[in-house]
Homo-oligomer: A and B are copies of this chain.
Amino acid sequence: MKKIEVAILGATGTVGQKFVRLLENHPTLVVAELVASERSAGKSYAHAVVWKQETPIPTDVAGIKVKDLSAPLSSRILFSGLDSSVAGEAETAFAAAGHTVISNSSNHRMDAQVPLIIPEINPDHFQLVKKQVGPGAIITNSNCSTMFLAMVLAPLDAKFGVEAVQVTTMQAISGAGYPGVASMDILGNVIPYIGNEEEKLEEEVAKILGRLNDDHVDVHPMTVSAQCNRVAVFDGHMEAVSVRFSQSASVEEITKSLREFRGMPQERSLPTAPAHPVVVMDEMDRPQPARDVWVENGMAAVVGRIRPCNVLDFKMMVLGHNTVRGAAGAAILNAEAYQALGYLS
């Protein structure tokens, strides 16, 4: 079977690099085009990029000549890791030109007719693309910190009804891109503020868990309150979560429903899908970002310390790999799900 050619928008950035890395040896997608700023345009990718991944630049990508945002593209699917300062207009234009834009950028996430997808949770929301005007489409994944919260809340909501959620995050420096967080700001420190992060977390989860209603999504009525912090961790966002349910639950029932959670990516064995989207650890001091971030190749939400909460009902720790399942990996899984569901044919 011939692989589908994809382009990466914002290919030299942190998310763009992760797209390149995660797509190496992908069974159905192949990187054909790379798009970056004018400064990089015309150079080979190997010369344009300051490569920060753990493995070398894939050989077949290193020599691709980088295009700028104004160049016409031939790829069917465009993965967008564009900076939000340019993503809005660029993605709209590419969709109008007929491309399927699978975006990690935040600009269009809350647009009424743009699906905000976690394929284990709401693959039916893909149908929103039919309401988008023009020949192409824009599909988005959530913010990195939203991802792991939503993945944990979805099975709990199905069983116990989520009414309210308190979440305090401890987020990794790689979430801010490169150069991102200055070392003088974070070495031996905690920064109790990440611009717009709390707002994204609070509103995105309600859309993802919302119900598709013809041409829009009725957002889930849960209330979410987030406090977001940056800590001196390389990869892996930690989230201290408390939840109030509408129905009674127990630690055992919660654990069971998280461990049994599966969705269409697992049923269809999508290439990038984790076998278990949520992994529950039993050790009392886990998960930890430095030890557990690569569970399920970074594609799972890892949960620990499920216990009763004095104020709401239950609390737990959640961990996820912010640049894999929290960014590029999420978009790739979205593309795989979109294709598997027949939208590309």
A187 with B188, Cβ < 8 A, contacts A170-B231, A305-B193, A315-B227 known: yes
CB < 8 Å neighbour of A311 from B166, B182, B233: B166
Enumerate chain B residues within 8 angstroms of A54, measured Cβ to Cβ.
291, 294
Enumerate chain B residues within 8 angstroms of A224, measured Cβ to Cβ.
310-311
Shortest Cβ distance from A315 into B: residue: B227
- Distance of A170 Cα from B179 Cα, bound (Å): 22
A188 with B232, Cβ < 8 A, contacts A182-B180, A183-B181 known: yes
Enumerate chain B residues within 8 angstroms of A240, measured Cβ to Cβ.
168, 192, 227, 229, 240
- Distance of A91 Cα from B141 Cα, bound (Å): 52
- Residue A86 CB within 8 A of the other chain: no
Binds B, one of A60-68, A131-139, A210-218, A281-289: A281-289
Whether A52 pairs with B188 at a CB distance below 8 angstroms is: no
- Residue A144 CB within 8 A of the other chain: no
- Residue A173 CB within 8 A of the other chain: yes
Whether B242 pairs with A189 at a CB distance below 8 angstroms is: no
Enumerate chain B residues within 8 angstroms of A343, measured Cβ to Cβ.
none
Chain B nearest CB, measured from A84 CB (Å): 19
Shortest Cβ distance from A223 into B: residue: B310
- Residue A251 CB within 8 A of the other chain: no
- Distance of A259 Cα from B290 Cα, bound (Å): 33
Chain B nearest CB, measured from A114 CB (Å): 24
Enumerate chain B residues within 8 angstroms of A310, measured Cβ to Cβ.
164, 202, 223-225
Whether A233 pairs with B166 at a CB distance below 8 angstroms is: no
Enumerate chain B residues within 8 angstroms of A291, measured Cβ to Cβ.
54, 189
A191 with B234, Cβ < 8 A, contacts A179-B184, A311-B224 known: no
Shortest Cβ distance from A288 into B: residue: B189
Whether A288 pairs with B165 at a CB distance below 8 angstroms is: no
Enumerate chain B residues within 8 angstroms of A121, measured Cβ to Cβ.
none
- Residue A89 CB within 8 A of the other chain: no
- Distance of A310 Cα from B193 Cα, bound (Å): 17
Whether B183 pairs with A309 at a CB distance below 8 angstroms is: no
Q: Mark A316-336, 1 if CB is under 8 A from B, else 0.
A: 010000000000000000000
A residues adjacent to B (C-beta < 8 A):
52, 54, 164-166, 168, 170, 173-174, 178-193, 202, 223-225, 227, 229, 231-234, 238, 240, 242, 244, 284-291, 294, 304-305, 309-312, 315, 317
